[in-house]
């Protein structure tokens, strides 16, 4: 039934299909947790697919990976210890290690075979920082890993796949218990940045609203920023951001509303291994300028 095209079909975005023309399949196997597919495409570079859902193409991955890393890191005054949840392809990790201030990055990925596939097929593009001396890799379900961690991290980036069904590995990461674990694992003033799905899709928008509501008692400040990415569903994904502050820490409502919307620090590009392709100060600020249809769909948030 293979006609030279990969087509993403998924119940979370029923009624639509996105296809990419395949040049060559490089890997197709089942791991303990999911089906892993890597192929070279005709026009989007090399592609990683998990359980039928596109995780990245080398042509547009820069937008998601750079924003998920740099928006929370530049909102933090002095990020020292960072946790990446998921992200086994190494792309967010590649961005985090560009920050000289970060002395310690832990990546907690459930599926060792995703890391292996990333090293083998994306070693010179995406999986470039696994050997950095600041990096510790943990192969574990992050929902379990975080249960026992307290006041450890300045920034937690949840670069997870979608909670496509009850058994999907990422489903636990969108539950209130996991958000509570993240809050406990952050130091005061710490920042959580979660893969924020797509506001054009009803199922995703409901999930974003539920997540923001569940964050309310745990995090004094919350926000949503949008990212353009052609090969994710509908071409848009978001970041759900939350700050571990008490309301008394930042008494002004305006200051809380604006907290994430301007970078507090700037990347010294001479320290970075190469220029950034998507993130800039302007793009950081622009991510939070949501069109009314999106801002309104988030309700009171």
Should residue 172 be labelled a site residue for ligand AAT when binding is judged by CB under 6 A?
A: yes
Cβ at position 204, least distance to ligand AAT in Å: 9
Q: Which 64-83 positions form the footprint of ligand AAT (CB under 6 A)?
A: 65
Cβ at position 167, least distance to ligand AAT in Å: 11
- Segment contacting ligand AAT by CB under 6 A, of 85-93, 181-189, 252-260, 276-284: 85-93
Nearest to 8 by CA among 270, 258, 298, 231: 231
Q: Which 211-270 positions form the footprint of ligand AAT (CB under 6 A)?
A: 232-233
Sign of CA dihedral 42, 45, 46, 49: negative
- Of residues 236 and 297, the one with the C-beta less far from ligand AAT: 236
User: Scanning the structure block, which residue is given the tokens 């996105």?
Assistant: 18
- Of residues 49 and 191, the one with the C-beta less far from ligand AAT: 49
Total number of residues binding ligand AAT (CB under 6 A)?
A: 31
Active-site choice (60, 159, 162, 223):
159
Pairing of strands 81-86, 104-109: parallel
CA distances to 200, 260, 262 from 222, rounded to whole Å, are: 20, 8, 14
Which phi and psi (to 5°) does residue 261 adopt? -85, -10
Cβ at position 300, least distance to ligand AAT in Å: 26
- Segment contacting ligand AAT by CB under 6 A, of 50-58, 244-252, 271-279, 281-289: 50-58
124 three-state secondary structure: coil
- Of residues 142 and 192, the one with the C-beta less far from ligand AAT: 142
- Return d(Cα 38, Cα 91) in angstroms, integer: 15
Should residue 170 be labelled a site residue for ligand AAT when binding is judged by CB under 6 A?
A: yes
Should residue 87 be labelled a site residue for ligand AAT when binding is judged by CB under 6 A?
A: yes
Should residue 128 be labelled a site residue for ligand AAT when binding is judged by CB under 6 A?
A: no
- Of residues 186 and 221, the one with the C-beta less far from ligand AAT: 186
| Per-residue 3-state assignment (H helix, E strand, C coil) for 41-81 | ECCCCEEEEECCEEEEECCCHHHHHHHHHHHHHHHCCCCCE
Cβ at position 102, least distance to ligand AAT in Å: 18
For helices 176-185 and 202-215, what crossing angle results, to 10°? 50
User: Scanning the structure block, which residue is given the tokens 């958000």?
Assistant: 179
CA distances to 21, 35, 40, 193, 297 from 4, rounded to whole Å, are: 6, 19, 11, 36, 38
Should residue 183 be labelled a site residue for ligand AAT when binding is judged by CB under 6 A?
A: no
- Return d(Cα 164, Cα 271) in angstroms, integer: 38
User: Scanning the structure block, which residue is given the tokens 């997870």?
Assistant: 160
Q: Which 97-116 positions form the footprint of ligand AAT (CB under 6 A)?
A: 108-111, 114
Site string for ligand AAT, 190-209 (x = CB under 6 A): -----x--------------
- Of residues 65 and 211, the one with the C-beta less far from ligand AAT: 65
Residue 159 annotated to the active site: yes
Cβ at position 34, least distance to ligand AAT in Å: 6
Query: From the DSSP assignment, how many helices (H) and strands (E) are in the chain?
Result: 9, 12
- Return d(Cα 116, Cα 49) in angstroms, integer: 14
The residue ranges that bind ligand AAT (CB under 6 A) are 50, 53, 55-56, 65, 85-89, 91-92, 108-111, 114, 141-143, 159-162, 169-170, 172-173, 195, 232-233
Catalytic residue positions, numbered: 159
């Amino acid at each position: 039934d293979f006609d030279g095209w990969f087509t993403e079909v998924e119940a979370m975005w029923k009624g639509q299909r996105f296809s990419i023309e395949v040049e060559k399949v490089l890997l197709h196997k089942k791991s303990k947790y999911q089906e892993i597919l890597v192929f070279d495409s005709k026009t989007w570079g090399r592609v990683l697919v998990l359980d039928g859902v596109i995780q990245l193409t080398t042509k547009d991955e820069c937008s998601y990976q750079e924003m998920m890393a740099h928006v929370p890191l530049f909102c933090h005054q002095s990020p020292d210890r960072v946790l990446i949840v998921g992200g086994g392809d190494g792309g967010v990790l590649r961005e985090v290690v560009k920050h000289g201030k970060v002395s310690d990055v832990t990546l907690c990925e459930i599926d060792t075979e995703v890391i292996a596939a990333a090293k083998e097929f994306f070693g010179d593009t995406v999986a470039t920082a696994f050997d950095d001396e600041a990096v510790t890799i943990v192969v574990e379900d992050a929902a379990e890993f975080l249960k026992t961690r307290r006041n450890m991290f300045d920034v937690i980036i949840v670069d997870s796949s979608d909670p496509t069904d009850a058994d999907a590995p990422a489903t636990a990461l969108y539950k209130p218990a996991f958000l509570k674990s993240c809050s406990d694992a952050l130091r005061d003033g710490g920042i959580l940045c979660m893969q924020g799905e797509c506001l054009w899709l009803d199922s995703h928008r409901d999930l974003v609203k539920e997540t923001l509501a569940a964050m309310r008692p745990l995090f004094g400040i919350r926000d949503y920023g949008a990212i353009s990415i052609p090969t994710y569903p509908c071409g848009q994904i978001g970041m759900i951001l939350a700050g571990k502050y008490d309301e008394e820490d930042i008494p002004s409502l305006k200051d809380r509303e604006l907290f994430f919307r301007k970078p507090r620090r700037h990347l010294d590009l001479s320290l970075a291994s190469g220029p950034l392709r998507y993130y800039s100060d302007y793009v950081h600020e622009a991510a939070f300028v949501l069109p009314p249809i999106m801002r309104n769909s988030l309700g009171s948030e």
